[in-house]
């Protein structure tokens, strides 16, 4: 439950630009993995490929099930994806509509959905936000609504794309707390290496179409030469 396995996956844009080639990795259930690398390394595209939003070659197994066109909707029930820009994700008129979107497809009754919405908002520290319009919220609140919507689906796997991007320090701390509270498998793409150091126990470095290093967060993030070779910096925690 909640494991991710990629076997020789490759992705090339229609214009011929190769993003990654023959990437393989295994992420155990309940593991928290950070994907780091320079801009344009294909980190976001990798998340899109894992969730079947772009078509990659190779084999992807989610919770030991091979992802295919036929079972993609079933696979997506196990995954929640928090996108980089909350304005892409919060498309409903009210916060409660955004959180409840798609829950009926998971087999919940109306009463259960109402209770899930309430509980998700409470855990994200957004009690009473049900009828607020998401486009009137601050960026930090929008990001928390995105997380609440992701948690509401009780996913096995949580994919996060630059979750702390543009947040103020208080908003960032709150977000880190919420991410840490999630008990399932986490895959976090970010340039915020201090956050990666706090949230993830394993790190993959993606650069020049391949995974150039993988291992425990401490081992990878404290390796100054490795980090600099990949246009990265050692986070404060390991300096």
Residues 149-178 interacting with another protein (rule: CB under 8 A): 149, 153
77 lies in the site for another protein, by CB under 8 A: yes
Give the residue, chosen from 7, 12, 101, 118, that forms a contact with another protein under the rule CB under 8 A: 101
> Considering all CA atoms of the chain, what is the largest pairwise distance in Å, rounded to the nearest integer?
55
DSSP label of 50: H
Burial of 71 (0-12, 13-18, 19+ CB in 10 A): middle
Long-range pairs of 44-48 with CB within 8 A, sequence gap ≥ 24: 44/84, 44/161, 44/162, 44/189, 45/11, 45/19, 45/20, 46/11, 46/20, 46/189, 46/206, 47/81, 47/159, 47/161, 47/187, 47/189
Size of the site for another protein (CB under 8 A): 31
Give the residue, chosen from 24, 73, 115, 231, that forms a contact with another protein under the rule CB under 8 A: 73
Give the residue, chosen from 48, 113, 148, 189, that forms a contact with another protein under the rule CB under 8 A: 48
Give the residue, chosen from 87, 112, 127, 228, that forms a contact with another protein under the rule CB under 8 A: 87
What mask, x for binding another protein by CB under 8 A, covers residues 116 to 135?
A: ---------------x-xxx
Site residues for another protein per CB under 8 A: 48, 51, 53, 73, 76-77, 79-81, 83, 85, 87-89, 91-94, 101-106, 131, 133-136, 149, 153
């Amino acid at each position: 439950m909640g494991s991710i396995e990629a076997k020789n996956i490759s992705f090339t844009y229609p214009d011929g630009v190769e993003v990654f080639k023959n990437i393989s990795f295994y992420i155990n259930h309940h593991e928290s993995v950070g994907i780091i690398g320079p801009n344009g390394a294909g980190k976001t595209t990798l998340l899109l490929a894992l969730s079947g939003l772009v078509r990659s070659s190779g084999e992807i197994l989610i919770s030991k099930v091979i992802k295919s066109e036929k079972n993609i909707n079933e696979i997506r029930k196990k995954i929640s994806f928090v996108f980089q820009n909350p304005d892409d994700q919060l498309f409903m008129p009210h916060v409660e509509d955004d959180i409840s979107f798609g829950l009926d497809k998971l087999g919940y009754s109306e009463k259960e959905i109402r209770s899930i919405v309430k509980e998700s908002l409470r855990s994200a520290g957004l009690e009473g936000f049900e009828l607020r319009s998401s486009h009137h919220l601050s960026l930090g609140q929008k990001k928390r609504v995105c997380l609440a919507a992701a948690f509401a689906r009780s996913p096995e796997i949580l994919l996060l794309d630059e979750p702390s991007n543009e947040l103020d320090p208080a908003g960032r701390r709150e977000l880190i707390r919420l991410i840490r509270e999630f008990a399932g498998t986490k895959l976090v793409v970010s340039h915020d290496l201090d956050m990666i150091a706090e949230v993830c126990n394993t790190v993959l470095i993606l650069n020049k179409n391949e995974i150039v290093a993988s291992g425990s967060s401490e081992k990878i993030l404290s390796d100054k030469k490795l980090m600099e070779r990949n246009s990265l910096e050692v986070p404060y925690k390991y300096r």
